Amino acid sequence: MTPVSGPARTSWRGVLALAAAIVVAASAVGFFRAFQLPGMDATGPMDSMVSPGPTGSTADRRLHGMALADMPEMFVAGAALLLALGAALVLGRTRHSGAPGVPVAPVVVPQPTVLGRRTTAMVATAALTIDISKTSTLGFVIPGLRTEYGIDASTASLLAVSGLSGTALGALLCSRLAERIGRRACYLLATLGFTATSMCGTMPDFRGNVVMCFLMGIAVGGLAPMLITVLSDLFPGPGRGAAVTGLSIVATAIGYLIASGSALWLEPVFGWRVLWLIGAPTGLLLAAAAAVIPDRRSTRAPAGPADDWLARNTLTTRLQWGFAFSIGLTTFGLTTWVPTLSRVGGLSLTTANALLTGSAVAMVLCAGLLVLGYRRFGPTGVTVRLALCTAVLLLALAVSGWAVAAPWLSAAVLTVALLGVNTMAAVFLPVAADVADDRSRGRAAGSVSFFNRLGGLAGPLVLSLLVTSVSEVLWSVAMLALLCGSVAAYTSRRQRVLRKAGAG
């Protein structure tokens, strides 16, 4: 492949910058147009029904769909995003150019300073938080979406299936794209895609939402494994696993807090569509921070005894895939349907969302304890204990009959279960990145994330068949939690056997 010359690289960098600026401008226009409130009829650009309150203020500012012909900014953003991808691919040619048969050394970036490492860790954790919040938003969107479009749970589950299919594809594509164009450019493209597809909040029909959710999933799915890889590179040494897992737990907790808090405070005013639209400003902030994401770190020092032990006693590739699949099945199944299940007993929208927000706050507060548990028991030990606690709580609630007699208690226990499964989900990807070598870390994290999303695809579909019966959902999730715990327990047993063999 012919390398790109210096002047040509400068020109293509300009194309990339211009395309990114167009995506930003088009997304900003789409965001502000969605909140236009002048009186319009159902055929106007925005079917926003506005009812003046007693003092002349707006009492109802719920957002409604916009005809595709009235959203030129969405198509402009899509075209600019494709142009940015093309420019990034051209710029990535020199990364793989060279004499035939001669391997090309990876781009080496000097080790960052302490301040630079902290800044990168903060940005990567913030991006991971927003990434997780967008996936969690699926569950809060579905109840309002079902009401507006008049669809049943099985049909609504197609939205979750579409989004999770996109995340699975994105996990594979972005891990490989990052090797070609660099992590920084891949991060920029992912955040721009995340920003542009937030305009799905103005889609006029359910099919349009399904398509846009798939495209958003591609951008979101690629961010998580890449960000975990970046964080793993920042913390070499035996303490890396605990550090990255701690940041992942905090990001998971705050991400769900953002999703549930947005549903609590914004959805009653603007409706479910606002939960998609707020991705635009947060995506723009993340895109602006792309400069601090390193393309590739330098090769780390040779592995020490602790790293050797970890490499010998970790999950095999197939066990990692199986563990990630079972975690995805449980986590995405429960996360997608908890907001719906919380309202089955007649709880109001505000009460249900307040309970879910409370669970997210509890998870943030428990993050430090969970990190200590990781250091004490290891990833498999923490997972087994969380799985058992989750299963016992759910089975006790199902057998006692309190799920029907006390809807608020059912919602509270579901939120505790959500705390447990989300914590399990925060563990598997850092472990996969921790045990991989420098050259394969991004690809390894992407493949494990792919199997996690495949499990997530099955979760909403399985539970969508049971959402009319809270007790059956409790039994199902309890069994799924026990499945995750069983996989982790088998792994722990295998580690003990290998440890004894190594000591002998």
Q: How far apart are CA 208 and CA 71, in angstroms?
A: 13
pLDDT at residue 347 in the model: 67
Instruction: Domain 15-34+66-91+114-296: give its CATH architecture.
Output: Up-down Bundle (1.20)
Give residue limits of the domains in the chain.
15-34+66-91+114-296, 311-503
Hey, is 52 helix, strand or coil? strand
What does the mean pLDDT of the chain come to? 77
Q: pLDDT at residue 374 above 50?
A: yes
Q: pLDDT at residue 116 above 70?
A: yes
Q: pLDDT at residue 282 above 50?
A: yes
Nearest to 294 by CA among 222, 230, 243, 232: 230
Burial class, 489, CB count within 10 angstroms (exposed 0-12 / middle 13-18 / buried 19+): middle
Structure confidence by residue, pLDDT tens digits, 193-252: 989 999 888 898 999 999 999 999 998 888 888 888 888 888 877 777 778 888 888 888
Residues above pLDDT 70, as percent of the chain: 75
Nearest to 200 by CA among 366, 400, 31, 29: 31
Structure confidence by residue, pLDDT tens digits, 438-448: 777 777 788 88
Confidence at 369, pLDDT banded by 50, 70, 90: confident
Does residue 315 or residue 57 have the better pLDDT?
315
Structure confidence by residue, pLDDT tens digits, 64-89: 888 888 889 999 999 999 999 999 99
Cα atoms in the 13 Å half-sphere on the side-chain side of 386: 31
Does residue 250 or residue 496 have the better pLDDT?
250
Does residue 405 or residue 265 have the better pLDDT?
265
pLDDT at residue 259 in the model: 87
Q: At what angle do helices 317-341 and 407-435 cross, to 10 degrees?
A: 160
Does residue 334 or residue 289 have the better pLDDT?
289
pLDDT at residue 94 in the model: 56
- Give, in words, the CATH class of 311-503: mainly alpha
Confidence at 20, pLDDT banded by 50, 70, 90: very high
Q: How far apart are CA 251 and CA 129, in angstroms?
A: 4
Q: How far apart are CA 214 and CA 224, in angstroms?
A: 16
Cα atoms in the 13 Å half-sphere on the side-chain side of 455: 25
Sign of CA dihedral 178, 179, 180, 183: positive
Q: How far apart are CA 252 and CA 423, in angstroms?
A: 8
Distances (CA, A) of 349 to 82, 258, 259, 353: 39, 17, 14, 6
Q: Which tokens belong to 406?
A: 């006390």
Tell me the average pLDDT across 137-165.
86
Answer whether 469's CB lies under 8 Å from 401's CB: no
pLDDT at residue 101 in the model: 47
Confidence at 192, pLDDT banded by 50, 70, 90: very high
Q: pLDDT at residue 490 above 90?
A: no
Structure confidence by residue, pLDDT tens digits, 298-320: 444 444 444 444 444 445 567 77
Q: pLDDT at residue 46 above 60?
A: no
Nearest to 23 by CA among 294, 292, 291, 288: 288
Q: How far apart are CA 499 and CA 504, in angstroms?
A: 9
Instruction: Measure CA 467 to chain center.
Output: 23
Q: pLDDT at residue 273 above 80?
A: yes
Same fold, 15-34+66-91+114-296 and 311-503: yes
Q: How far apart are CA 170 and CA 450, in angstroms?
A: 8
pLDDT at residue 58 in the model: 42
Q: pLDDT at residue 23 above 80?
A: yes
Q: Which tokens belong to 183?
A: 């992590």
Q: pLDDT at residue 160 above 50?
A: yes
Residues above pLDDT 90, as percent of the chain: 14
Q: How far apart are CA 446 and CA 369, in angstroms?
A: 28
User: How many residues belong to the chain?
Assistant: 504
pLDDT at residue 48 in the model: 38
Q: How far apart are CA 325 and CA 462, in angstroms?
A: 14
- The total of other beta-carbon atoms located within 10 Å of residue 147's CB is 11
Q: Within the chain, how many helices (H) and strands (E) appear? A: 17, 2
pLDDT at residue 362 in the model: 76
Tell me the average pLDDT across 137-160.
85
